[in-house]
């Protein structure tokens, strides 16, 4: 596995990363209806989704490698009088008890490693989620323009390093549908969508996977 590297959240970050993810909203309502309580925002960044979940009444734990991102989350949570447990560390080894969370969100985060790292972090995610708990996970798709744009920085058939913005030298792994099925084989997949989003004249493609912990 390659070494993890945090985002530079002090750089000029697009507003996209400051607003709650549209794809989370309907699922969060379903989690609330199931009386789920404890949720982990894995790779929370500056906490856009953690803040929203806390406002909904969830008991939120937020985890990330970036000190700067977590500092911004802490300030925002304090300003809004929200109680969010904030921890810093590497996603390849999560500091939580087995079966601790009712649900888990890994939104545009766990693909910042190589394929072997993805296998490891998904195993950790499964460990810390309760049986029958649910997860929302996103993966980079090879349909993304970046897979071609940064082709000269590929280190293998799945992974490359970006060269711009807050993600300079941060690893990114890109997969296809068959890879998603392989990576999620220890979970019950409830839904898979590939969403293609056109922003700033560049195509962004991701797999959005809702799954249940067996």
Angstrom distance (rounded) from CA 24 to CA 48: 11
Residue 12 pLDDT greater than 70, yes or no:
no
Tokens of 202: 């560049």
Alpha helix positions (H), the chain:
24-33, 48-55, 67-79, 115-128, 145-149, 177-183
Domain ranges of the chain: 15-213
Return the pLDDT at 9.
87
Return the pLDDT at 8.
87
Strand ranges (DSSP E) for 94-180? 101-106, 129-141, 159-161, 171-175
Can you tell me the mean pLDDT for 98-119?
97
Tokens of 187: 């979970």
| pTM for this model (two decimals) | 0.95
Can you tell me the mean pLDDT for 86-112?
97
34-55 pLDDT, tens per residue? 999 999 999 999 999 999 999 9
| 151 class by beta-carbon count within 10 Å (0-12 exposed, 13-18 middle, 19+ buried) | exposed
CB 184, CB 195: distance < 8 Å: no
The CATH architecture assigned to 15-213 reads: 3-Layer(aba) Sandwich (3.40)
What H or E segment, with its residue span, contains residue 63? strand 59-64
């Amino acid at each position: 596995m390659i070494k993890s590297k945090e985002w530079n959240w002090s750089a000029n970050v697009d507003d996209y990363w400051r607003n709650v993810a549209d794809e989370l909203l309907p699922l969060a309502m379903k989690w609330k209806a199931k009386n789920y309580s404890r949720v982990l925002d894995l790779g929370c960044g500056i906490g856009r989704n953690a803040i929203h979940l806390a406002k909904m009444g969830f008991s939120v734990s937020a985890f990330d490698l970036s000190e700067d991102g977590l500092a911004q989350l802490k300030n925002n949570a304090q300003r809004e009088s929200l109680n969010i447990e904030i921890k810093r560390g590497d996603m390849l080894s999560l500091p939580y008890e087995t079966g601790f969370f009712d649900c888990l969100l890994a939104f545009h985060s766990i693909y910042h490693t190589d394929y072997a790292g993805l296998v490891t972090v998904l195993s950790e995610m499964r460990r810390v989620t309760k049986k029958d708990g649910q997860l929302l996970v996103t993966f980079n798709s090879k349909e993304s323009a970046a897979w071609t744009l940064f082709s000269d920085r590929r280190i293998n058939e799945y992974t490359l390093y970006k060269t711009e913005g807050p993600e300079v030298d941060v690893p990114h792994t890109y997969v296809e549908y068959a890879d998603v099925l392989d990576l999620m084989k220890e979970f019950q997949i409830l839904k898979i969508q590939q969403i293609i989003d056109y922003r700033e004249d560049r195509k962004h493609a991701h797999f959005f996977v809702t799954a249940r912990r067996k």
